[in-house]
């Protein structure tokens, strides 16, 4: 297993689509280049903002191979491969490895309620089946299954489980994950914030960065949060982190990933809408987004 340092701002890159909902791989390449030019520290395929929940298996392979080719080894490529069943998660994870992914991000199984022992055995089986670094992914509002800090501590003892992303929005849970990661004996255990507003606070607490949906809109601004933190410019990093608040306030108008993709399109990038039925933004939401984007452009956000 090739070691990868799990750090920085990693955008869950949007998956561009044509009007007929087919993949727009050329625009995907442009979005990857745009992210890299903005200074991000990795590219994450099939996150919530990448619509991994609605892409078909063959589409995922094509997207991942395109991103890996475009990145060309300059940044680590993360692939979200978590599915409901352990069997399918292993199959998707093996596909991701064959396609050239550097890191697997595995969401907790959803819909059916899972015990902590079932979650532990699920991740243990996947880690044993695929020789890639694994980042655990906790987003209970979407899956219905929360990964307890005690379970993270158990999983951290497995060699290739190297980190966790927390999107619960609960900073106490992030702190508990950081503490749980200290159980890892053979190398560091990275904790990433999945809530963009908590990135700097996660870094200050000992985490290593964030998987930031807003980086699809403002790659340079989000990447600067990590870079400024590393330079010891904490107040500047805080200002950069807080600057996305007006965009996040627009999430009230729809599914957050729909709002993000709409914002990217309003910036002039032909990424298309999210795949139906998760594609509706009311007129008042479009107006609010246009206002926010214009205000932030005047501030130099990009």
Which residues are part of the catalytic machinery?
137, 165
Of 232, 222, 174, nearest in space to 10 by CA = 222
Distance CA 110, CA 142 (A): 8
Burial class from Cβ neighbours inside 10 Å (0-12, 13-18, 19+) for residue 64 reads buried
- Helices (H) and strands (E) in the chain — how many of each? 13, 8
Side-chain half-sphere CA neighbours of 132 within 13 A: 27
- For the chain, state the CA radius of gyration: 18
Give the whole-angstrom CA distance, residue 76 versus residue 81: 16
**Whether 232 contacts 204, CB under 8 Å:** no
90 contacts: CB under 8 Å, gap ≥ 6: 125, 126, 129, 130
Calpha distance 161→213 (Å, rounded): 23
How many Å apart are CA 74 and CA 154, to the nearest integer? 33
For residues 273 and 296, give the distance between their C-alpha atoms in angstroms, rounded to a whole number. 22
Q: Which of 106, 168, 104, 158 is nearest to 133 (CA)?
A: 104
**How do the residues of the chain divide into helix, strand and coil, expressed in percent and rounded to 5?**
50, 10, 40
């Amino acid at each position: 297993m090739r070691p990868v340092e799990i750090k920085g701002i990693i955008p869950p890159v949007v998956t561009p689509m044509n009007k007929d909902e087919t993949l727009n791989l050329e625009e995907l390449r442009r979005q990857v280049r745009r992210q890299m030019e903005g200074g991000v520290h990795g590219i994450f395929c099939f996150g919530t903002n990448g619509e991994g929940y609605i892409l078909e298996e063959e589409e995922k392979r094509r997207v991942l191979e395109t991103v890996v080719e475009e990145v060309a080894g300059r940044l680590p490529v993360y692939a979200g491969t978590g599915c409901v069943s352990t069997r399918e998660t292993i199959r998707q994870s093996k596909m991701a490895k064959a396609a050239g992914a550097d890191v697997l991000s595995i969401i907790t199984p959803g819909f059916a309620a899972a015990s902590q022992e079932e979650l532990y055995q699920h991740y243990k089986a996947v880690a044993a089946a695929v020789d890639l670094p694994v980042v655990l992914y906790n987003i209970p509002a979407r899956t219905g299954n929360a990964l307890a800090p005690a379970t993270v501590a158990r999983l951290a003892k497995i060699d290739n489980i190297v980190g966790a992303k927390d999107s619960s929005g609960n900073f106490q849970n992030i702190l508990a994950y950081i503490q749980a990661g200290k159980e890892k004996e053979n190398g560091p255990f990275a904790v990433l914030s999945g809530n963009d507003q908590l990135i700097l606070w996660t870094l200050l607490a000992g985490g290593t960065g964030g998987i930031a949906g807003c980086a699809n809109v403002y790659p340079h601004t989000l990447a600067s949060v990590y870079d400024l933190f590393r330079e010891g410019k904490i107040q500047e990093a805080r200002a950069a982190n807080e600057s996305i608040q007006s965009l996040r306030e627009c999430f009230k108008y729809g599914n957050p990933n729909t709002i993000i993709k709409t914002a990217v399109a309003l910036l002039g990038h032909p990424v298309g809408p999210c795949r139906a039925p998760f594609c509706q933004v009311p007129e008042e939401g479009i107006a609010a987004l246009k206002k926010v984007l214009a205000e932030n452009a005047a501030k130099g956000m990009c």
